[in-house]
Chain A
Amino acid sequence: MHTPSVHLSSTARPAGQTPVISARGLTKRYGDFEAVRGIDFEVPPGEAFGLLGPNGAGKSTTMRMIGGVSQRTAGELRIMGLDPETHGPEVRARLGVVPQQDNLDEELTVRDNLMVYGRYFGLPRSYLRPKAQQLLEFAQLTEKADAQVEGLSGGMKRRLVIARSLVNEPQVLLLDEPTTGLDPQARHILWDRLFRLKEQGTTLILTTHYMDEAEQLCDRLIVVDQGQIMAEGSPAQLIREHSSREVVELRFGTERNAQVAAELEALRGSERLPASLVDRVEPLPDRVLLYTPSGEDVLTAVSALGHHPITSLVRRSSLEDVFLTLTGRSLID
């Protein structure tokens, strides 16, 4: 199957601005398993660009290739015009990286972690001392500055990793699942910080499993599955293109859901349940989903058919619906 070639038709890119990242036919194979199957994308400067996809879709592999720490099998990749294969140090000097798995030095203090990391970039201590202090404030870790990393909470460690990635004022920040495992407070603080960076002109590349996060942060995103791009666009665009406006969730009890869904599916397109009202009926073990432009009308129609759900819910369609529609509901790993 050939990759659906998605280009930047949807996002107006200021003329003359060279993309920060451009990938053409980017491919990564592990043995005979193809983790990334020749994907194409471009990211203009200052954009917040999201990579969405289930576990094992190839997001982290893509991130690692962009980060210049994993070799690509085929295709072209340019980071600010440079090839990470031949200009590794130059590329990595421009990036900030927040890996999926924290790799802090747990034996050092919070501040030393920042200082040591800055030294990797050859930055002088006269710059790093005040910079570390600033980053500690930014990450709200000032009080923990001289504590050992080992004793920090998960959220604090994550904030420290993010602060650490900013020590060289990167032009591009790579964030691999930055908020996984964080509590809502920590997530909101982090989003706020990322917004500020975006305002300063930093290009953000992030992967996430949280659709609300993608909706909050990303100007544009691609949905990746099995190493291929399934869809591309802004969050609103994707919802428009791949889902209905509203979703009705009906629960009839575990035994009856499938049966009712089948009946509704059979009636869909008839006069009592016109296809214009219900785009799709999706039976799930615990509930039945009806994709529709108008949830209230569906509820009326369903009860007119003599079905009385135990509970019913009408909600706006979300990125999560798009995601599940595009990548399926079964568990992947």
Chain B
Amino acid sequence: MTERLLVPLTPDASAARARTWGWWYYAEHFLLQMRRYGSVIVVSAIGEPLIYLLAMGLGLAAVIDGGQSTVDGVSYIVFLAPALLASSALMTAATEFTYPVMGGFKWQRVYFGPQAGPMQPWQIAAGQVAAVALRFLAQSVLFYVVMLFFGVAPSPWAWLQIISAVLGGLAVGLPLMAYASSITQDKGQFALVQRFIIMPLFLFSGTFYPLTNLPVALQWIGWISPQWHAAQLGRIASYGMQEPWTLTVLRVLYLVALAVLGWWLVWRQFTLRLGWIQGTPDRDARVVTPRAGWKRTRGAGRRREGTEPEPATRPQGRISEPIPPMPQITVRTGPFAGMYAGNIRAVLERGFLALKTNNWAVFASGFVEPVLYLLSMGIGLGAMIGAVEGPAGPMSYPAFIAPALLAVSAMNGAIYDSTWNVFFKMRHSKIYRIMLNTSMGPMDVALGEIGMALFRGAVYSTGFLAIMAVMGHLTSPWALLMLPAAVLIAFAFASVGMAITSYMTKFQQMDWIMVVLMPMFLFSATFFPLSVYPEQIQWVIQALPLWHGVELLRQLSVGVFTAGTLVHVLYFVVMVIGGMAFASARLKALFLR
């Protein structure tokens, strides 16, 4: 070091600043982190409202009572927009208050950096909350601008919904953050939170239809859902929805109460996990009565100073069976030598073993999401939409969307396995590198992993079919063909998904997959027939794979076969072959250079 830079602050001044502004220093850090994936944030902040308003606002409006009717005295899109604005904060809360918390405490341990500095534990939490609240704000403002552009926010007070949306996001986010900060072991809890808390809160909260469309058995979810209250507040601001003022006040109080309670829990969790509550005796020293099967063994039963030297011959003493001679390891020759060793089984075995040690609930509940959609949209929207024109004439709305949702769930399951899981194994746990260090080839790995994705897809599809049967939407025996068809769809998405994932190097890039999937889902004729779109858009939709899946399953569900059926099947066969070739070539390029 040439010259010595003098620190402009004494340690005491530094501590005093941190006592006041520490929370903001961590907010700065969190905002800087967000800037890393800023492009995804901006694209989805503008793109999501655009796509939702176009797809749902215009598409659904066209099928609701023939496009004539109004909801709550205003056009459907005016009714829908404020709730969508509120839900975008909800969805952001579900990611920003979960995974980064886990990263802070466990994965990257980012919180332990500031912990060693002069700030206090709760300030780290406060910084993250402040930064995410800023994101809510920016996102809501962008959404609001899009609404103005569409002319769907008539009231002069409509901007107030920006505030109610931020409040709604905090009312969900802070309790969620408290939960996330109490987790010490990652067992896929966030996937369960997403499926069993966030999705129901979103889907049964009168976003797409008035909450009263639902039977009381489902309506209560809306009553407790911050999303419903935030959406209703938004509607009051946006188009002057009528309701008693006491109810409005209650909604605000409810959201504030949730946020305050959540913050108190967050404060406590962070303080206890990164420090301690001053003036209390050391919590670590408390003797906990050991639960069955769980015991703190550190230091217990430890021998020292040569009291019992370890016998050098111990390992041999433990093996009771004689070891048979090692069989010859065969190496394939021929056209695919080096690519394929005929050992997919080993990859599958590992996959099932990993499933066994993972959280089974996470795996088994994978088909919950489409079921929730089916319940919410089928019942809630079905109340406003009469019959829809299907492949074999008019059909009820739930029966119309059920096969489409099965296609969507087959796609989602396959994509999840072949993108997130594959990404993790490729970049983080390096499982593929280990596998390819053995006699296995890249084709074995690709096929094995895709096999796992198919297994998952088949399990989910079976679960969903069972629910459809229970709800009485399985009317034709041909409908059973939907199972193999769903597996074919999963196969196609899994193989292409894996190939694309091989290009990803950072977690944030994975968000782009969502940016692509979301519009494909909304523009896939899942919730309304293709005919509601102008012709040019119809062509685009027909080129996309999900539409083929939706149409294929919809045809099978009523047992109608046309030339189109064959085209749909062929589309996926081509996807499978192309994706497989691509994926194994990529694996080879990545690991066998």
Contacts and interface: CB of A to CB of B under 8 A. Distances in A.
A73 B284 contact: yes
B327 interface: no
A153 B115 CA distance: 24
B304 A226 contact: yes
B285 A127 contact: no
Contacts of B303: 330
B110 A105 contact: yes
B9 A122 contact: yes
Contact of A138 (B1, B119, B284, B308): B1
Contacts of B312: 254, 285
A331 B310 contact: yes
Contacts of B287: 31-32
B298 interface: yes
B18 A89 contact: yes
B19 interface: yes
A108 B110 CA distance: 11
Nearest to A286: B312
A267 B114 CA distance: 61
B430 interface: no
A265 interface: no
B299 A56 contact: yes
B278 interface: yes
B286 interface: yes
Contacts of B305: 328
Most buried by A among B111, B310, B508: B310
Interface string B1-37: 1000101110111110111011001101100110010
Contact of A122 (B18, B288, B302): B18
A28 B304 CA distance: 21
B14 A30 contact: no
A146 interface: no
Nearest to A101: B109
Contacts of A29: 282, 284-285
Interface stretch (A64-72, A216-224, A293-301, A307-315): A64-72
Nearest to B119: A120
B325 interface: no
A116 interface: yes
B233 to A, nearest CB: 35
Contacts of A150: 506
Q: Which of A73, A116, A120, A171 neighbours the largest number of chain B CB atoms within 10 Å of its CB?
A: A120
A85 interface: yes
Contact of B32 (A95, A112, A137, A169): A112
Contacts of B13: 122
A28 B14 contact: no
Contact of A71 (B120, B283, B288, B298): B283
Given A69-B275, A116-B32, A332-B302, A90 B11 contact: yes
B21 A122 contact: yes
B356 interface: no
A197 B244 CA distance: 69
B298 A120 contact: no
Contacts of B119: 89, 120
Contacts of A123: 7-9, 14
Given A121-B9, A122-B9, A93 B15 contact: yes
A112 B35 CA distance: 12
A23 B275 CA distance: 20
Given A103-B109, A285-B312, A116 B285 contact: no
Contacts of A86: 278
A121 B8 contact: no
Contacts of A73: 281-282, 284-285
A261 B233 CA distance: 86
A79 to B, nearest CB: 11
A29 B283 CA distance: 9
Contact of A105 (B12, B113, B276): B113
A138 B2 CA distance: 10
Interface in A193-218: 196
21 contacts: A88-B275, A89-B18, A89-B120, A93-B118, A105-B29, A106-B108, A107-B36, A107-B508, A108-B33, A108-B36, A120-B26, A120-B118, A137-B1, A164-B113, A168-B7, A168-B11, A168-B117, A328-B304, A328-B306, A330-B306, A330-B309
Interface of A: 28-35, 56, 67, 69-74, 85-90, 92-95, 97, 99, 101, 103-108, 112, 116-117, 119-124, 127, 130-131, 134, 137-138, 150, 164, 168-169, 171, 196, 225-226, 254, 285, 327-332
Given A29-B282, A29-B284, A120-B114, 4 more contacts: A28-B285, A88-B275, A127-B5, A164-B113
Q: Ordered nearest first, which 8 A-B pairs have the shortest CB separation?
A: A122-B17, A120-B117, A29-B285, A97-B116, A89-B15, A103-B109, A93-B11, A93-B118
